[in-house]
Amino acid sequence: MKSDKATPLLIVIAVLLIANLAATAWVAVKVSSPSTHVSGEQPGEVLPDFITKDVKKKIFNDFQAAYNSGSHDAFYNLFSDLAKAQIDEEALGGTHDQLLSSLGKVEDGVYSHYNYVQRQGNLKVFVLYYAVKLPDSLLGNAGEVKITISVDDEEYGILGAHLFSNSQG
């Protein structure tokens, strides 16, 4: 059974981790009234046809492999050149370590939906949402990964990634 003294500390740690990740990995995106794609509802922009079910799975698998590897280089190299130009590699490595120690590895991810965020020049920015299992998490075993991508013609790049627990354990 967990101590009542540990619960507030875990909440503070989780908030700090999320804030730190948001500050380092959420790059090049200023959210301005995004529209969420829900079945039967028209989003502000639809994902391009080349972002298929297989591509969404590949994006998640790439995130999962880089994150779970524990390698700062692998995690940093997950991001596009545009994102890397704005990410402090050392800070990202520290955030990566903190997330691994409190949330553990990501297991089983399933795509759920996306948000259209905005257009930046010729790039369209979307956030892809994945429900995940966090079997070793100190903060609950269900979580979510939000992966921000930029799309240009027939290419995409990863701008940012957020991982968090949905429940308190």
Q: Residue 145 belongs to what H/E stretch?
A: strand 142-152
User: 20 in the Ramachandran plot: left (φ > 0), alpha (ψ -120 to 50) or beta?
Assistant: alpha
Q: How high is the pLDDT of residue 11?
A: 58
Q: How high is the pLDDT of residue 127?
A: 93
Q: How high is the pLDDT of residue 8?
A: 57
Walk along the chain (169 residues) in steps of 10 and give the mean pLDDT of each run.
53 51 40 40 72 91 85 78 77 73 80 88 90 78 86 86 72
Q: How high is the pLDDT of residue 10?
A: 57
Q: How high is the pLDDT of residue 55?
A: 92
What residues contact 70, with CB distance under 8 A and at least 6 apart?
A: 96, 100
Q: Strand, coil or helix: what is 146?
A: strand
Query: In this structure, are residues 84 and 25 in contact, taking their beta carbons and an 8 Å threshold?
Result: no
CA separation (Å) from 142 to 3, 11, 12, 34, 127?
A: 21, 16, 19, 24, 19
Whole-angstrom Cα distance, residue 104 to residue 64? 12
Q: How high is the pLDDT of residue 7?
A: 59
Count CB-CB contacts under 10 A for residue 107.
14
CATH number for the 6-165 domain, one of 3.30.70.890, 3.10.450.590, 3.40.50.720, 3.40.50.2000? 3.10.450.590
Rounded to two decimals, the pTM is 0.70
Whole-angstrom Cα distance, residue 106 to residue 116? 25
Q: Strand, coil or helix: what is 122?
A: coil
Q: How high is the pLDDT of residue 123?
A: 87
Q: How high is the pLDDT of residue 75?
A: 74
